[in-house]
Amino acid sequence: MGAARKSGGSVFLVEDEVMIRMMVADMLEELGYSVVAEAGEINDALKLAQTAEFDLAILDVNVNGKVISPVADILAARNRPFIFATGYGSSGLPAEYRNRPALQKPFQIETLARMIDHALNSTPV
């Protein structure tokens, strides 16, 4: 029952919990997106944020106890859209990025689709 989406969109996914990362990747594929880069550690995420080519990133706010801000900084400098995923609500977002879209974990595929549309079709304040 996923919403129809254009094919070919690519996603960089950062999530330290393997099962959650797999679930989100499955949702993205169902929505017509492909995960072209993924990381479960902050150092891997930093490298991929600098080098990978993608349309959108989805970033877990807390990756093995480390805040995602350095990765978000790279993506912002590259002018790449990104969405945060957090179990802490918007107050858990890094202060400088509270204007960015945030998915509250756990989330449904419909919510993910709406957030992707928002992130790809608007510019941050």
Mean pLDDT in residue range 13-28: 97
Contact between 56 and 78 (Cβ < 8 Å): no
Which stretches of 6-108 are DSSP H helices? 18-30, 42-51, 69-77
DSSP state of 87: S
Is residue 8 scored above 90 in pLDDT? no
Mean pLDDT in residue range 11-34: 97
Q: Is 122 helix (H, G, I), strand (E, B) or coil?
A: coil
Domain annotation for the chain: domains and CATH numbers: 9-120 (3.40.50.2300)
Mean pLDDT in residue range 66-74: 96
Compute the distance between CA of residue 4 and CA of residue 25 in angstroms, rounded to an integer: 16
Bridge partners of residue 56, in order along the sequence: 11
DSSP state of 112: H
Bridge partners of residue 12, in order along the sequence: 37, 57
* Listed residue (115, 125, 122) closest to 57, CA to CA: 115
Instruction: Give the global pTM.
Output: 0.90
